[in-house]
Chain A
Protein backbone atom coordinates (compact mmCIF):
# COMPACT_ATOMS: atom_id res chain seq x y z
CA UNK A 1 0.00 0.00 0.00
CA UNK A 2 1.35 3.44 -0.90
CA UNK A 3 1.03 6.51 1.28
CA UNK A 4 -1.58 7.94 -1.08
CA UNK A 5 -3.71 4.81 -0.61
CA UNK A 6 -3.33 5.12 3.14
CA UNK A 7 -4.35 8.79 2.96
CA UNK A 8 -7.43 7.85 0.93
CA UNK A 9 -8.42 5.20 3.46
CA UNK A 10 -7.85 7.64 6.30
CA UNK A 11 -9.81 10.43 4.67
CA UNK A 12 -12.71 8.17 3.68
CA UNK A 13 -12.88 6.90 7.25
CA UNK A 14 -15.57 8.91 8.96
CA UNK A 15 -15.12 9.07 12.72
CA UNK A 16 -18.48 10.87 12.92
CA UNK A 17 -20.24 7.65 11.87
CA UNK A 18 -19.43 6.05 15.19
CA UNK A 19 -20.10 9.07 17.36
CA UNK A 20 -23.33 10.27 18.89
CA UNK A 21 -23.30 13.85 20.02
CA UNK A 22 -26.00 16.04 21.55
CA UNK A 23 -25.08 19.60 20.49
CA UNK A 24 -27.31 21.30 23.08
CA UNK A 25 -25.96 19.18 25.92
CA UNK A 26 -22.46 19.85 24.67
CA UNK A 27 -23.00 23.61 24.63
CA UNK A 28 -24.41 23.45 28.16
CA UNK A 29 -21.35 21.50 29.36
CA UNK A 30 -18.91 23.88 27.65
CA UNK A 31 -20.56 26.87 29.30
CA UNK A 32 -20.67 25.13 32.68
CA UNK A 33 -17.01 24.16 32.42
CA UNK A 34 -15.95 27.65 31.42
CA UNK A 35 -17.82 29.12 34.37
CA UNK A 36 -16.24 26.51 36.65
CA UNK A 37 -12.74 27.26 35.28
CA UNK A 38 -12.97 31.03 35.76
CA UNK A 39 -14.52 30.76 39.23
CA UNK A 40 -11.71 28.34 40.20
CA UNK A 41 -9.04 30.84 39.03
CA UNK A 42 -10.81 33.73 40.75
CA UNK A 43 -11.16 31.95 44.10
CA UNK A 44 -7.56 30.69 44.00
CA UNK A 45 -6.32 34.28 43.56
CA UNK A 46 -8.81 35.64 46.08
CA UNK A 47 -7.74 33.04 48.66
CA UNK A 48 -4.04 33.86 48.36
CA UNK A 49 -4.40 37.64 48.41
CA UNK A 50 -7.40 37.50 50.76
CA UNK A 51 -5.35 35.83 53.52
CA UNK A 52 -2.82 38.69 53.38
CA UNK A 53 -5.63 41.26 53.41
CA UNK A 54 -7.38 39.67 56.41
CA UNK A 55 -4.10 39.38 58.31
CA UNK A 56 -3.36 43.05 57.61
CA UNK A 57 -6.82 44.03 58.90
CA UNK A 58 -6.35 41.93 62.01
CA UNK A 59 -3.00 43.51 62.88
CA UNK A 60 -4.29 47.03 62.14
CA UNK A 61 -7.05 46.27 64.65
CA UNK A 62 -4.47 44.99 67.17
CA UNK A 63 -2.32 48.09 66.72
CA UNK A 64 -5.29 50.41 67.14
CA UNK A 65 -6.52 48.59 70.22
CA UNK A 66 -3.19 48.39 72.02
CA UNK A 67 -1.92 51.80 70.85
CA UNK A 68 1.29 50.03 69.81
CA UNK A 69 3.17 50.55 66.57
CA UNK A 70 4.83 47.12 66.35
CA UNK A 71 1.87 45.26 64.72
CA UNK A 72 2.18 47.73 61.84
CA UNK A 73 5.41 45.93 60.92
CA UNK A 74 3.33 42.81 60.21
CA UNK A 75 0.74 44.91 58.35
CA UNK A 76 3.60 46.21 56.22
CA UNK A 77 4.77 42.65 55.52
CA UNK A 78 1.20 41.59 54.58
CA UNK A 79 0.86 44.56 52.21
CA UNK A 80 4.26 43.84 50.64
CA UNK A 81 3.49 40.14 50.04
CA UNK A 82 -0.12 40.75 48.92
CA UNK A 83 1.00 43.58 46.62
CA UNK A 84 3.73 41.41 45.13
CA UNK A 85 1.19 38.62 44.47
CA UNK A 86 -1.26 40.98 42.77
CA UNK A 87 1.40 42.62 40.57
CA UNK A 88 2.88 39.24 39.66
CA UNK A 89 -0.54 37.75 38.83
CA UNK A 90 -1.50 40.76 36.67
CA UNK A 91 1.81 40.68 34.76
CA UNK A 92 1.68 36.92 34.30
CA UNK A 93 -1.92 36.92 33.13
CA UNK A 94 -0.87 39.19 30.26
CA UNK A 95 1.82 36.71 29.23
CA UNK A 96 -0.33 33.58 29.47
CA UNK A 97 -0.07 31.11 26.60
CA UNK A 98 -2.73 31.64 23.96
CA UNK A 99 -4.02 28.37 22.56
CA UNK A 100 -4.65 29.78 19.11
CA UNK A 101 -0.95 30.55 18.69
CA UNK A 102 1.31 28.27 16.68
CA UNK A 103 2.27 25.18 18.68
CA UNK A 104 5.89 26.24 19.09
CA UNK A 105 4.96 29.71 20.39
CA UNK A 106 2.38 28.25 22.75
CA UNK A 107 4.83 25.69 24.16
CA UNK A 108 7.47 28.40 24.61
CA UNK A 109 4.94 30.58 26.49
CA UNK A 110 4.08 27.61 28.73
CA UNK A 111 7.77 26.99 29.29
CA UNK A 112 8.32 30.60 30.27
CA UNK A 113 5.37 30.36 32.65
CA UNK A 114 6.72 27.18 34.27
CA UNK A 115 10.16 28.79 34.59
CA UNK A 116 8.54 31.74 36.32
CA UNK A 117 6.69 29.43 38.72
CA UNK A 118 9.97 27.67 39.52
CA UNK A 119 11.65 31.03 40.10
CA UNK A 120 8.82 32.07 42.45
CA UNK A 121 8.99 28.89 44.52
CA UNK A 122 12.80 28.81 44.61
CA UNK A 123 12.79 32.40 45.85
CA UNK A 124 9.85 32.02 48.21
CA UNK A 125 12.26 32.82 51.04
CA UNK A 126 12.79 36.37 49.75
CA UNK A 127 9.37 37.50 48.57
CA UNK A 128 7.11 35.58 51.00
CA UNK A 129 8.91 34.22 54.04
CA UNK A 130 11.38 37.04 54.75
CA UNK A 131 8.85 39.92 54.97
CA UNK A 132 6.66 37.93 57.36
CA UNK A 133 9.67 36.67 59.31
CA UNK A 134 11.00 40.21 59.66
CA UNK A 135 7.60 41.60 60.72
CA UNK A 136 6.78 38.79 63.15
CA UNK A 137 10.36 38.51 64.44
CA UNK A 138 10.87 42.21 65.14
CA UNK A 139 7.43 42.81 66.65
CA UNK A 140 7.77 39.64 68.77
CA UNK A 141 11.25 40.62 69.91
CA UNK A 142 10.12 44.11 70.89
CA UNK A 143 7.10 42.75 72.77
CA UNK A 144 9.28 40.35 74.73
CA UNK A 145 11.97 42.95 75.33
CA UNK A 146 9.36 45.05 77.05
CA UNK A 147 8.66 42.23 79.49
CA UNK A 148 9.89 42.89 83.01
CA UNK A 149 12.03 39.78 83.51
CA UNK A 150 14.99 39.97 81.15
CA UNK A 151 15.87 36.26 81.52
CA UNK A 152 12.30 35.18 80.73
CA UNK A 153 12.20 37.57 77.80
CA UNK A 154 15.35 36.11 76.24
CA UNK A 155 14.11 32.54 76.73
CA UNK A 156 10.67 33.36 75.28
CA UNK A 157 12.28 35.15 72.37
CA UNK A 158 14.56 32.19 71.65
CA UNK A 159 11.63 29.74 71.74
CA UNK A 160 9.51 32.08 69.60
CA UNK A 161 12.24 32.47 66.96
CA UNK A 162 12.94 28.75 66.99
CA UNK A 163 9.26 27.88 66.40
CA UNK A 164 9.11 30.52 63.65
CA UNK A 165 12.25 29.10 62.02
CA UNK A 166 10.89 25.52 62.09
CA UNK A 167 7.57 26.57 60.53
CA UNK A 168 9.36 28.58 57.86
CA UNK A 169 11.78 25.77 57.14
CA UNK A 170 8.76 23.47 56.62
CA UNK A 171 7.07 25.93 54.26
CA UNK A 172 10.31 26.39 52.31
CA UNK A 173 10.87 22.63 51.98
CA UNK A 174 7.25 22.12 50.87
CA UNK A 175 7.76 24.65 48.09
CA UNK A 176 11.03 23.04 46.98
CA UNK A 177 9.29 19.64 46.95
CA UNK A 178 6.60 21.07 44.64
CA UNK A 179 9.35 22.31 42.30
CA UNK A 180 11.04 18.91 42.19
CA UNK A 181 7.89 16.82 42.03
CA UNK A 182 5.74 18.82 39.60
CA UNK A 183 7.38 21.79 37.97
CA UNK A 184 10.76 20.40 36.95
CA UNK A 185 9.25 17.33 35.21
CA UNK A 186 6.80 19.66 33.45
CA UNK A 187 9.66 21.93 32.36
CA UNK A 188 11.56 18.93 31.03
CA UNK A 189 8.47 17.79 29.16
CA UNK A 190 8.04 21.21 27.54
CA UNK A 191 11.73 21.47 26.71
CA UNK A 192 11.48 18.07 25.01
CA UNK A 193 8.48 19.27 23.01
CA UNK A 194 10.33 22.38 21.84
CA UNK A 195 13.38 20.28 21.00
CA UNK A 196 11.13 17.83 19.11
CA UNK A 197 9.77 20.67 17.01
CA UNK A 198 13.17 22.22 16.34
CA UNK A 199 14.99 18.97 15.65
CA UNK A 200 15.57 18.41 11.98
Chain B
Protein backbone atom coordinates (compact mmCIF):
# COMPACT_ATOMS: atom_id res chain seq x y z
CA UNK B 1 0.00 0.00 0.00
CA UNK B 2 1.42 3.38 -0.96
CA UNK B 3 1.56 6.32 1.44
CA UNK B 4 -0.99 8.17 -0.73
CA UNK B 5 -3.45 5.26 -0.52
CA UNK B 6 -2.98 5.06 3.24
CA UNK B 7 -3.56 8.79 3.56
CA UNK B 8 -6.66 8.64 1.36
CA UNK B 9 -8.18 5.86 3.50
CA UNK B 10 -7.26 7.71 6.69
CA UNK B 11 -8.91 10.91 5.49
CA UNK B 12 -12.01 8.97 4.37
CA UNK B 13 -12.31 7.23 7.74
CA UNK B 14 -11.80 10.48 9.56
CA UNK B 15 -14.47 12.22 7.50
CA UNK B 16 -16.92 9.31 7.85
CA UNK B 17 -16.33 8.21 11.41
CA UNK B 18 -15.08 11.24 13.31
CA UNK B 19 -18.24 11.25 15.42
CA UNK B 20 -17.66 7.61 16.43
CA UNK B 21 -14.06 8.32 17.41
CA UNK B 22 -14.96 11.39 19.42
CA UNK B 23 -17.68 9.54 21.30
CA UNK B 24 -15.20 6.78 22.23
CA UNK B 25 -12.64 9.37 23.33
CA UNK B 26 -15.14 11.36 25.38
CA UNK B 27 -16.54 8.16 26.87
CA UNK B 28 -13.10 7.07 28.07
CA UNK B 29 -11.33 10.30 29.09
CA UNK B 30 -12.75 13.16 31.13
CA UNK B 31 -10.60 16.29 30.81
CA UNK B 32 -9.97 18.08 27.49
CA UNK B 33 -6.22 17.40 27.83
CA UNK B 34 -6.80 13.69 28.36
CA UNK B 35 -9.27 13.58 25.50
CA UNK B 36 -6.77 15.31 23.26
CA UNK B 37 -4.03 12.89 24.29
CA UNK B 38 -6.19 9.80 23.84
CA UNK B 39 -7.55 11.11 20.53
CA UNK B 40 -4.00 11.43 19.20
CA UNK B 41 -3.14 7.91 20.33
CA UNK B 42 -6.30 6.56 18.69
CA UNK B 43 -5.50 8.34 15.42
CA UNK B 44 -1.92 7.14 15.50
CA UNK B 45 -3.03 3.55 15.97
CA UNK B 46 -5.73 3.92 13.33
CA UNK B 47 -3.18 5.24 10.86
CA UNK B 48 -0.81 2.35 11.66
CA UNK B 49 -3.59 -0.22 11.31
CA UNK B 50 -4.56 0.78 7.75
CA UNK B 51 -2.04 -1.44 5.88
CA UNK B 52 -3.50 -4.49 7.67
CA UNK B 53 -7.07 -3.62 6.68
CA UNK B 54 -8.24 -6.05 3.99
CA UNK B 55 -11.93 -5.33 4.12
CA UNK B 56 -12.71 -8.65 5.85
CA UNK B 57 -14.21 -6.80 8.82
CA UNK B 58 -16.64 -3.90 8.50
CA UNK B 59 -14.95 -0.50 8.63
CA UNK B 60 -16.84 0.43 11.79
CA UNK B 61 -15.91 -2.88 13.48
CA UNK B 62 -12.26 -2.22 12.66
CA UNK B 63 -12.36 1.38 13.85
CA UNK B 64 -14.19 0.46 17.07
CA UNK B 65 -11.61 -2.26 17.80
CA UNK B 66 -8.64 0.05 17.27
CA UNK B 67 -10.25 2.87 19.26
CA UNK B 68 -11.33 0.71 22.21
CA UNK B 69 -8.07 -1.25 22.34
CA UNK B 70 -6.13 2.01 22.37
CA UNK B 71 -8.40 3.42 25.07
CA UNK B 72 -7.95 0.25 27.16
CA UNK B 73 -4.17 0.43 26.88
CA UNK B 74 -4.08 4.18 27.46
CA UNK B 75 -3.53 5.31 31.03
CA UNK B 76 -3.54 8.82 32.38
CA UNK B 77 -0.50 8.26 34.58
CA UNK B 78 1.57 7.25 31.60
CA UNK B 79 0.31 9.80 29.16
CA UNK B 80 3.09 11.61 27.40
CA UNK B 81 2.55 15.20 26.44
CA UNK B 82 4.76 15.70 23.45
CA UNK B 83 7.11 18.66 23.39
CA UNK B 84 5.93 21.47 21.17
CA UNK B 85 2.75 19.60 20.32
CA UNK B 86 -0.17 21.67 19.12
CA UNK B 87 -3.64 20.99 20.50
CA UNK B 88 -5.50 19.18 17.76
CA UNK B 89 -8.92 19.28 19.30
CA UNK B 90 -11.05 21.95 20.82
CA UNK B 91 -13.93 20.45 22.75
CA UNK B 92 -15.36 23.71 24.05
CA UNK B 93 -19.01 24.33 23.39
CA UNK B 94 -19.38 26.64 20.44
CA UNK B 95 -21.09 29.95 21.34
CA UNK B 96 -22.90 30.06 17.99
CA UNK B 97 -25.08 27.06 17.31
CA UNK B 98 -26.36 26.56 13.83
CA UNK B 99 -30.17 26.37 13.69
CA UNK B 100 -29.99 23.00 11.88
CA UNK B 101 -28.01 21.53 14.79
CA UNK B 102 -30.07 22.89 17.60
CA UNK B 103 -29.86 20.72 20.67
CA UNK B 104 -31.83 21.88 23.64
CA UNK B 105 -29.80 22.66 26.71
CA UNK B 106 -31.59 19.85 28.52
CA UNK B 107 -30.54 17.35 25.84
CA UNK B 108 -26.97 18.59 25.89
CA UNK B 109 -26.92 18.31 29.67
CA UNK B 110 -28.33 14.80 29.43
CA UNK B 111 -25.61 13.77 26.97
CA UNK B 112 -22.91 15.23 29.23
CA UNK B 113 -24.30 13.32 32.20
CA UNK B 114 -24.42 10.20 30.10
CA UNK B 115 -20.75 10.60 29.19
CA UNK B 116 -19.93 11.03 32.89
CA UNK B 117 -21.96 7.92 33.77
CA UNK B 118 -20.26 5.89 31.02
CA UNK B 119 -16.84 6.91 32.32
CA UNK B 120 -17.80 5.46 35.71
CA UNK B 121 -18.32 2.01 34.18
CA UNK B 122 -15.53 -0.57 33.91
CA UNK B 123 -13.82 -0.04 30.54
CA UNK B 124 -15.24 -3.13 28.74
CA UNK B 125 -18.73 -2.14 29.91
CA UNK B 126 -18.14 1.45 28.78
CA UNK B 127 -17.24 0.10 25.33
CA UNK B 128 -20.49 -1.85 25.20
CA UNK B 129 -22.54 1.11 26.43
CA UNK B 130 -21.07 3.40 23.76
CA UNK B 131 -21.80 0.91 20.98
CA UNK B 132 -25.27 0.16 22.33
CA UNK B 133 -26.16 3.84 22.40
CA UNK B 134 -24.91 4.18 18.84
CA UNK B 135 -27.29 1.38 17.82
CA UNK B 136 -24.60 -1.16 16.90
CA UNK B 137 -25.96 -4.71 16.39
CA UNK B 138 -25.29 -7.49 18.92
CA UNK B 139 -23.33 -9.35 16.27
CA UNK B 140 -20.99 -6.42 15.62
CA UNK B 141 -20.57 -5.79 19.36
CA UNK B 142 -19.61 -9.46 19.78
CA UNK B 143 -17.06 -9.12 16.95
CA UNK B 144 -15.55 -5.98 18.45
CA UNK B 145 -15.26 -7.45 21.95
CA UNK B 146 -14.51 -11.06 21.00
CA UNK B 147 -17.24 -12.54 23.21
CA UNK B 148 -20.43 -14.43 22.34
CA UNK B 149 -23.66 -12.67 21.44
CA UNK B 150 -25.41 -14.36 24.39
CA UNK B 151 -23.10 -12.56 26.81
CA UNK B 152 -23.83 -9.24 25.12
CA UNK B 153 -27.53 -9.29 25.98
CA UNK B 154 -26.94 -10.17 29.62
CA UNK B 155 -24.21 -7.58 29.98
CA UNK B 156 -26.29 -4.85 28.37
CA UNK B 157 -29.14 -5.45 30.80
CA UNK B 158 -26.77 -4.93 33.70
CA UNK B 159 -25.19 -1.87 32.09
CA UNK B 160 -28.60 -0.28 31.47
CA UNK B 161 -29.47 -0.79 35.13
CA UNK B 162 -26.22 0.84 36.22
CA UNK B 163 -26.71 3.77 33.88
CA UNK B 164 -30.30 4.21 35.12
CA UNK B 165 -29.02 4.28 38.72
CA UNK B 166 -26.41 6.88 37.87
CA UNK B 167 -28.86 9.01 35.90
CA UNK B 168 -31.60 8.81 38.53
CA UNK B 169 -33.66 11.98 38.44
CA UNK B 170 -32.77 12.64 34.83
CA UNK B 171 -34.31 9.57 33.30
CA UNK B 172 -36.74 7.25 34.94
CA UNK B 173 -36.61 4.03 33.07
CA UNK B 174 -34.04 2.30 30.87
Contact = CB atoms under 8 A, between A and B. Distances in A.
Q: Size class of A's contact patch? A: 35 or more
Given A25-B88, A37-B44, A103 B135 contact: no
Given A25-B88, A99-B45, A102-B144, A36 B72 contact: no
Contacts, number: 153
Nearest to A103: B145
A103 B72 contact: yes
Contact of B133 (A10, A29, A34, A107): A10
A184 B25 CA distance: 27
B65 interface: yes
B66 interface: yes
A175 interface: no
A67 to B, nearest CB: 51
Interface in A90-105: 97-105
A3 interface: yes
Interface string A19-34: 1111101110111011
B70 A19 contact: no
B97 interface: yes
Interface of A is mostly: helix
Contacts of A26: 14, 43, 88
A11 interface: yes
Interface residue range, chain B: 35 or more
Contacts of B62: 100
B10 interface: yes
B18 A21 contact: yes
B122 A10 contact: no
B40 interface: yes
B7 A14 contact: no
Contacts of A37: 44
A165 B14 CA distance: 57
Contacts of B89: 19-21
A6 B135 CA distance: 11
Contact of B86 (A20, A29, A193): A29
B103 A13 contact: yes
B114 interface: yes
B171 interface: yes
B19 A34 contact: no
B72 A16 contact: no
Given A7-B135, A10-B134, A100-B65, 15 more contacts: A1-B171, A1-B172, A3-B174, A6-B114, A10-B114, A18-B93, A20-B90, A21-B88, A25-B88, A26-B14, A29-B40, A102-B143, A103-B68, A107-B72, A198-B147
Interface of A: 1-3, 6-7, 9-23, 25-27, 29-31, 33-34, 36-37, 97-107, 110, 192-193, 196-198, 200
24 contacts: A1-B170, A1-B173, A6-B171, A7-B132, A7-B133, A17-B98, A21-B18, A21-B89, A25-B86, A29-B43, A29-B86, A31-B47, A33-B40, A99-B69, A99-B73, A101-B65, A102-B143, A102-B145, A103-B65, A103-B72, A110-B73, A196-B125, A197-B124, A197-B145
Which 7 pairs across A and B sit closest by C-beta, in order of nearness?
Answer: A102-B146, A104-B146, A15-B22, A1-B171, A99-B69, A10-B133, A13-B111
